[in-house]
Amino acid sequence: MLAAGVAFAAFHAQAQAPPAPTAPAARFVVVLNAAHGGDDAGANLDGQPEKDFTLAMSIRLRSLLAARGIAVVTTRESDVSVDAVQRAEIADHADAQACLTLHASETGAGIHLFTSSLAPAGATLFEPWKTAQAAWISRSVALEGVLNSALQHAGLSVTFGRTLLPAIDSMTCPAVALEIAPGKQAGGVSGTSVPGSLADPEYRSQVADAITAALLEWRTEGSNP
């Protein structure tokens, strides 16, 4: 009888025991690198300096991503100078799953996507600083593909390229540079909001929403090797 009582007590305690804690979900981090800033104004975008456009887009994306539970690290939050080394260091310390560098141009139309032109290389214990991105080229190209799909789904034209960018070449994360051009070539009075122009709020929202959609897909499907 005593044995039965002990067994019942053990069963009762097991039934009342709290469930084992589950492992916390991996933190998903995106780095937003607004190009230019401070003394570096960038291109003249029909009367607006590029540095202002990229900062405004970074702030918009940060808000959209944070609202969806994505942690965001920015390389600048105001009109300050940040050199390429500092930008790469911020990205590398963030342990990010995606790093986007934001540029803008009045040349061409749509979104131009760039990945590093470094030759792919295997990961090593100590990555060479100036070519650290070489170990991430395949992941960067995969991220570029997700961005391309989301941007085209939003009705935006997309072109691809590879280039040497010191900040990106030193990043240890999937990294893509986006150069945002007008949605379509259209004339107009300088400073006015021509539909599809970089000054058009609806066009800016369209681009930001498409980038956000791409990063949400990357989080759920493509962020793991």
Could you tell me how many helices (H) and strands (E) the chain has, helices first?
A: 6, 8
Q: Which residue has the tokens 């961005």?
A: 147
Does residue 188 register a pLDDT over 90?
no
pLDDT at 200 over 80: yes
Contact residues for 116 (Cβ-Cβ < 8 A; gap 6+): 133, 134, 137, 140, 162, 163, 164, 165, 168, 169, 175
Helix (H, G, I), strand (E, B) or coil at 216: helix
CA 219 and chain centroid, separation: 11
Distance of CA 217 to the CA centre of its chain: 12
pLDDT confidence of residue 1: 43
Q: What is the CATH number of domain 34-184+194-222?
A: 3.40.630.40
> If you average pLDDT over residues 190-201, what whole number do you get?
76
Which residue in this structure is represented by tokens 């989080």? 219
DSSP letters along 45-59, please? ETTEEHHHHHHHHHH
- Enter the pTM of the model: 0.84
Residue 2: per-residue pLDDT: 37
Give the pLDDT confidence score for residue 14 in this predicted structure.
46
Q: Cα(149)–Cα(215) distance, rounded to whole angstroms?
A: 11
Residue with tokens 């295997």: 122
What confidence category does residue 191 fall into, taking pLDDT thresholds of 50, 70 and 90? very low
